[in-house]
Amino acid sequence: MDIINKGNVPGSHKTTKASKPEREDHDSPWKDALEVFFQPFMDFLYPDISQLIDWQQPIAFLDKELQKITRKAKNSRRYADKLVRVHFLNGSEKWILIHVEVQGAADTNFSERMFVYYYRIRDRYQKPVISLAVLTDTQPSFRPNHYSDEIAGCTIRFEFATVKLLDWRDKTDELLQHDNPFGLLIAAQLTAKLIKDGKTRVDNLIGYYRLAAKKKLPREHITQLVVFLEWIVALPESFTPYYNEQLAHLEEDEKMTYISIIERQGIEKGIEQGIDQGVDRGRAVTLYKLLQLKFGEQAAEYEQRLHQAKDAELSLWTERVLFAESVEAVFE
């Protein structure tokens, strides 16, 4: 699988017209993936910290708290940031602030932003904070790990832990064969950043699906992993027919149903266009297929309700379906 071709490593990544909309680069799948696969994420990229966490204790994602401190940020760019409350094995409560830099180019203000978020949390909530950064850019020299400032003898230095996904480009086999599902997400991110050829992207993505199906994960987590993989790779639209053709072969080989890019675009189109009866019917069909994938035969009793639903209901249920633990929870 040609995930890494060193000749394809650009100085920076630029979105072309054939790529998915820039909106998807901003509203990154990393946000959702971090919630679903938070422990695998920590185990894979920050094992030293992960082993300090009591994973038997509940984890809380503090999105509202993070929004309060970032609302007035001077930088208008958006990032896949997460604030997570965990408990350590020694009984102490910790807040983990995770910054994911999903832009294609290096950000000269990144270190300062890390520092600003850190002190805002400390000041507002009086909580100890662990700051972690994940860099998905393709510039090898961009490796921020501290922020410092000095004036008239007054000095400050703030250090944070950083991982650079580009460092995994020569460890393809380890990423793909690792039991930890987050290895596939890293491979997908590298494909998105480093592979320009659309056919190779499709072939890689299909290969990721095959590997995802073999992971020792609950069925619903495999479904979620597949969604995140396709979202991250962001296939050029011109390769949609080839992608759906390969997807059909995969379904036949693996006896497993996947969601085609056309169906995923149907959801996006429905959200963007709002109340449109024809689009709503397409969204209802897609949502029903998602329910079948996740909950099996239990979805059948809701089929008629889906086709009678209004736009707002379909939007709500589509948001819920990935994370609901039961089919009843989707419609409650």
Distance CA 321, CA 109 (A): 37
User: What's the pLDDT band for 271 if we cut at 50, 70, 90?
Assistant: very low
Pick the closest to residue 129 from 43, 65, 76 (CA basis).
65
Q: Name beta bridge partners: 130.
A: 96
User: What's the pLDDT band for 276 if we cut at 50, 70, 90?
Assistant: very low
Distance CA 128, CA 136 (A): 26
| CA distances from residue 178 to 32, 40, 50, 172, 193 in whole angstroms, order as listed | 21, 11, 17, 10, 21
User: What's the pLDDT at 18?
Assistant: 35
Alpha carbons within 13 angstroms on the beta-carbon side of residue 210 total: 17
pLDDT digits (tens, 9 = 90+) for 218-235: 877 888 888 889 888 888
* pLDDT value at 203 more than 90: yes
Where is average pLDDT lowest: 44-48, 89-93, 108-112, 275-279? 275-279
Whether residue 236 contacts residue 19, with contact meaning beta carbons closer than 8 Å, is answered with yes
Q: Where are the domains of the chain?
A: 18-168, 173-258, 262-332
Two structure tokens written together for 295: 């909950």
* pLDDT value at 129 more than 60: yes
DSSP class of residue 88?
Answer: B
Alpha carbons within 13 angstroms on the beta-carbon side of residue 237 total: 9
Average pLDDT over residues 89-100: 90
User: What's the pLDDT band for 5 if we cut at 50, 70, 90?
Assistant: very low
More confident residue, 54 or 80: 54
Where is average pLDDT lowest: 70-74, 210-214, 290-294? 70-74
Burial degree of 201 (CB within 10 A; 0-12, 13-18, 19+): buried
First vs last C-alpha separation in the chain: 43
What share of the chain in percent tops pLDDT 90?
A: 35
Pick the closest to residue 77 from 132, 147, 22 (CA basis).
22
User: What's the pLDDT at 283?
Assistant: 66
Alpha carbons within 13 angstroms on the beta-carbon side of residue 18 total: 10
* pLDDT value at 104 more than 80: no
pLDDT digits (tens, 9 = 90+) for 137-178: 889 999 999 999 999 999 999 999 999 999 999 998 999 999
